[in-house]
Chains A and B, each alone.
Chain A
Amino acid sequence: MDTGPKSARRAPEALNQASAARRRFINSIAAAAGGGCLLALGAGLYSRSASALPAQALRPPGALPESDFLAACVRCGLCVRDCPYDTLRLSDLGDPVPTGTPYFRARQIPCEMCEDIPCVKACPTGALDRGLTDINQARMGLAALVDHESCLNFLGLRCDVCYRVCPVIDKAITLEPQHNPRSDRHAMLLPTVHSDACTGCGKCEKSCVLPEAAIKVFPRQLAQGALPAHYRKGWEEKARHGGSLIGDQVELPVRGFDGSTAGRAPTEALAPAAPPAPTAAAPSSTPSSTPSSSAVPPKAPSPAPAPPRGGLRGGLDSHWKP
């Protein structure tokens, strides 16, 4: 600012005008900056609050982890266009899925797991990773048999539909036989999902015969827990190293669990495949009431407990014979 004697005389007027103009200019800039930043901040905050994927919305195969996906997906809908089964759709503002991004709901139209994966090929940005070339390696979600009370197989029926339709049958879903404690004489074949093979295509949920599916597919982080990274499973370490890593342990007798696996894995307990001598000696009599059963306690000091008398997994024994 010039404060020399010549300009000082006419300064007040000009200075006032200049400062008024300057003030107006600064005000307008501040308003524009404030407004613009507020709007952008609002959009940013809204995007943060809405960035969690709802429980039943699944991403297309090959989708990056959700936070990376939201950085990469430009919401163009090319994957939607190239899906031959109209599985995918784009969300709209107000939907629980981030605006414009592709998703599908398994119960409506599941993924048919095309071998050539056209949706991934169509993606121009890499939000769907072209590194996925084998659709069986897709991890769109994870099925979980959430309702044990209404699943027909849990009721002892042979529905098996989710198991039969599974594109990765016998790997992603297996039927695990279990004793049926209600009838006490039948098996339940329980559909069991395995996370290492389930692609999350949703065909099981789609085809569940119940009015509300008992098996549902969720985004993986919702359906899956995780062990702490430092956990080691003793039995796996033992198998890997061909023996216990901490030397032989004192084996104490386990009382009160005769006939059960008593804390050991069933395979371990089943290993001595020799038939139980007392019952074999008296096949016509019921084991529990024969005097030979009272001969079991004296044998207890042997380290391995008596093999289970009935039932694959031990526990309840109906003693039922055909």
Chain B
Amino acid sequence: MARTAIPSTSPAPARSLWQRQRWLILRRLSQALILLAFLSGPWFGVWIAKGNLSSSLTLGVLPLTDPLLVLQTLATGHLPYSSALLGAAIVLAFYLLIGGRVFCSWVCPVNVVTDAAAWTRRRLGIKTGRVPDANTRLWLLAGLLAAAALTGSLAWEWVNPVSLLHRGLIFGMGGGLFVIAGIFIYDVFVASRGWCGHLCPMGAFYGLLGRKALLRVAAPNRKACDDCMDCFTVCPEPQVIRPALKAVGQSHPLILAADCTTCGRCIDVCDKQVFKMTHRFDQRSE
């Protein structure tokens, strides 16, 4: 899926395709390689990772478990084996340190679907729709934990599109495709960035994890901004850009909002090269 940059109003200095799509290509590569690690076994007999994003065993030694899933399991009253707990701790530590919603843009397979939906929406020029409040995901997160505790089962896993798609891609898929198609249609016609930006409780959970994480996008070259709005158009969480780019309520150029998925799309589309990928202590502004 190639995306063309939105034409800017200002004359752009010639930038190569790599410069214009670098982070997008890297992200797609990351998502594909993670999927391939799970599929190389069943496809080629080369076992790198077994299982799926819910819980996996890499190279027979490294356990990784979705911490939100372990949280739900604990809410039901079941104490998982230590391998699941250890796996969850590793994942938890990684996202706490690197960046919560890095999961959303670099790992999650639904991201490809909703990015495609956002691209389609822009292409079709659809501006209307009804967007739910962005806090809905937090309520949904609380709701699914409550549902796990009340029903005594992992209720959310019956419908969770994230695990549904990833499991489906690895183990085969049937009815789950309707849920994914539903999300695509919802994002195109009803709510811009509706699923990932407003509803997904996994995204909300990883957002909470990443409040103090290291990997950040910053706008150190914000003086060069010519207000072309390309970054706002392409950003899945546009509200996070303003404080850093326009120095609203903060002086440093770091995007510290937990909603930022660190996808780097703003870096790609900006012809003035205002943005860059950095760490949270890099407060320099050029």
Contact = CB atoms under 8 A, between A and B. Distances in A.
B242 interface: no
Interface in A64-91: 67-68, 70-78, 80-82, 89-90
B280 to A, nearest CB: 28
A95 interface: yes
Interface SS majority for chain A: helix
B156 A40 contact: yes
Contact of B140 (A39, A77, A78): A39
A46 B144 CA distance: 13
Given A32-B135, A76-B54, A81-B41, A43 B167 contact: no
Contacts of B51: 76-78, 81
B229 interface: no
B78 A92 contact: no
A40 B73 contact: no
A272 interface: no
B174 A93 contact: yes
Contacts of A36: 136-143
Contact of B55 (A29, A71, A76): A76
Interface SS majority for chain B: helix
Interface string B142-172: 1110111011111111110001100110111
Of A46, A48, A95, the most chain B CB neighbours within 10 A belong to: A48
B286 interface: no
A100 B150 CA distance: 20
Interface string B115-146: 00000000000000000111111111111101
Interface of A: 28-29, 31-33, 35-37, 39-41, 43-44, 46-48, 50-51, 67-68, 70-78, 80-82, 89-90, 92-95, 98-100, 122-126, 130
Given A72-B76, A81-B50, 12 more contacts: A35-B133, A40-B143, A41-B143, A50-B158, A68-B78, A71-B148, A77-B51, A90-B172, A94-B174, A124-B63, A124-B87, A125-B81
26 contacts: A32-B134, A32-B136, A35-B132, A35-B140, A36-B140, A37-B143, A40-B139, A40-B142, A43-B159, A47-B151, A47-B158, A70-B154, A71-B154, A77-B50, A78-B51, A92-B168, A93-B164, A93-B174, A93-B179, A99-B176, A122-B50, A123-B81, A124-B57, A125-B55, A125-B80, A126-B81
